[in-house]
Structure 1
């Protein structure tokens, strides 16, 4: 039994089709199908039920999938531990974060890394749980809130949610705006799964404010572009773009609406101490970049 074949099983289970899984693992569909059939023969069970061009996990497949994931994770941990022993340091690190955080926090933080730091790779984790991101190869995950064990985590300073207006707007000279005032404006917001949208929705619900239907943008850059084009006020946590003016969004009690993120890592990771140090450095970077802590 080869780890590669186990990885193919997990890839197909996650993707739902052989074609999508083949793209993800970069093999041809016929080769992937042959490997799956061979694994099923070796295990003596059908892992999938095949119907109308799609694969659905069989009862046996559902039962074995957690074991397959665990096997791959343990193999990866073994590789990392061996690399630590051979090199005396972590050679590579993969960081996952929401797109906005990747752009405004992680990417500029990478500029500060030294030559003896791990070589970084990143990917966007929008819509993923910390565990999902870990299974996709993330060593360090920037995520909303504080995840439960087996994750260890370090909170980051709160990141404000801004209401962005163009220079000619009547609020352009203001520094903040209340949720109640926003209720009378056209808004451009982010998708429901975005941390800034979640923080904004929670504050609106707590304040009992009724907001009109808003335009939903795919990301913060698009939201600000729409605001610059006069389509509404962009409610995002991104750094400013297109010469827009940021106003801090505050509740009726003047408390700022903020996104609360943390750096999380698997406490069982062979390089957990290195990841904890990176998390502390990201925290210090956020304090230095945004001027608070």
Structure 2
């Protein structure tokens, strides 16, 4: 079956009235165009062009073929143009790997507040310790975690998040501007496994005091911890937002908020690296504003309580 380029060459020859004119239009030599037309006639088994003295013209079969091919090329041009237009209108999607808490409490609020004009951030949850390993394995565009990626990837510190103690709104500590680590240790605690950012920095703060956990429950998923809080089974130390009916009070050590880093990392060889960097720049700006406001609120409340 002749390809579209050969058919377009035939149309050019007919419209230009000569093989040489058709060759000039499509950008090939006259001998090459002559060979194309002979090969086309041989493949179809009909004579399409009357050659000889005078202007080149089509045979009766050639005229019918010209009409059909012209329609076919017009349809092909329409299909190609429509496909290109749809591709240009389709929003780019970036595959993002992040812990579930980061997706819910950082990426989603960022998209709500500042997501206009951004590509779709198609997020997939992963363990904080394995975010960048998973991102490499899946060929993801971006990883966001509380730890830096291995050498070879670009990374940027987005902001510092605040660790918070989740408790029912009726809890005696619920109206406080901050809960000291020592006060937490007196509560029945719900903790995540040590691979979570909240648990890791809390462990460091507890160790710095030479203290130890007393009554506590360890769970793997933040939502299970929030359920236990909601049902009155303890105070959870998390980076997430609270369930309805509960509050999240910043954890403080010596009246300073306990924080954790949030880091974005990506492969500089990724075809979307430039776009990823633009998204990360906006994300970092949003996160720093949000963190600054949160820390200012904590400082004002602690000052008022002092």
| Structure 2 length-normalised TM | 0.61
Residue 113 of structure 1 is matched in structure 2 by 115
Aligned CA distance change for structure 1 residues 285 and 264 (closer, same or farther; 3 Å): same
Q: Distance in 2 between matches of 1:245 and 1:119?
A: 31
**How far apart, CA to CA, are the structure 2 residues paired with 1:178 and 1:260?**
20
Q: CA deviation at 1:90?
A: 8.8
Mapped to 2, the partners of 1:214 and 1:164 lie a distance apart of 14
Shift of 1:200: 1.4
How far residue 264 of structure 1 moved from its aligned partner, in angstroms, is 0.8
Q: 1:121 to 1:215 in 2, by over 3 A?
A: same
Distance 1:239 1:286 in 2: 15
Distance 1:158 1:118, change over 3 A: same
Contact kept, 8 Å, 1:224 with 1:242, in 2: the verdict is no
1:170 aligned residue: 172
Pairwise CA distance, 1:226:
1.0
Give a deviation string over 1:3-62, Cα, whole Å, max 9, x none. Answer: xxxxxxxxxxxxxxxxxxxxxxxxxxxxxxxxxxxxxxxxxxxxxxxxxxxxxxxxxxxx
Q: Deviations over 1:106-164 (max 9, x none)?
A: 2333344345x433321002141413322123211001133342111121221111112
Q: Secondary structure at the match of 2:106?
A: helix
Number of aligned positions between the proteins: 206
The equivalent residue for 2:105 is 104
1:154·1:280 contact (CA, 8 Å) conserved in 2?
no
Structure 1, residues 158-188: CA drift from partner, whole Å, max 9, x if none? 1111112212222122111111111211001
Aligned to 2:62: none
1:264 aligns with 2:300: no
Partner of 2:284: 283
Structure 2: give runs of 5+ residues left out of the alignment: 1-86, 296-306
SS at match of 2:256: coil
Separation of aligned partners in 2, 1:292 and 1:151: 30
Aligned-pair distance for 1:286?
2.0
Higher helix share: 2
Partner Cα distance (1:100, 1:180) in 2: 25
The equivalent residue for 1:125 is 126
Determine which of 210, 213, 219 is the counterpart of 2:212: 210
Q: Is the 8 A contact 2:166 2:248 kept in 1?
A: yes
The match for 1:152 is: 154
Q: Deviations over 1:234-273 (max 9, x none)?
A: 111111222212221112x322211211111112223322
Following the alignment from structure 1 to structure 2, what is the Cα–Cα distance between the partners of residues 172 and 269? 46
Aligned equivalent of 1:183: 185
CA root-mean-square deviation = 2.5
Alignment of 1:1-293 (within 5 A): 91-111=92-112, 112-114=114-116, 117-126=118-127, 127-251=129-253, 253-290=254-291, 291=293
The gaps in structure 1 that reach 5 residues or longer are 1-85
> 1:292, CA displacement in angstroms?
5.4
- Over 3 Å counting, the alpha-carbon distance change for 1:274 and 1:182 in structure 2 is same
1:96–1:142 CA contact under 8 A, matched in 2: yes
The answer to whether the 8 Å contact 2:187/2:215 transfers is no
1:167 and 1:247 mapped to 2: Cα distance? 10
Structure 1 residues 90 and 152 mapped into 2: Cα distance closer, same or farther (>3 Å)? farther
Whether the aligned pair in 1 keeps the contact of 2:98 and 2:131 (CA below 8 Å) is no
CA contact (8 A) 2:141 2:272 kept: no
| Cα distance in 2 for residues equivalent to 1:109 and 1:168 | 30
TM-score (norm 1): 0.63
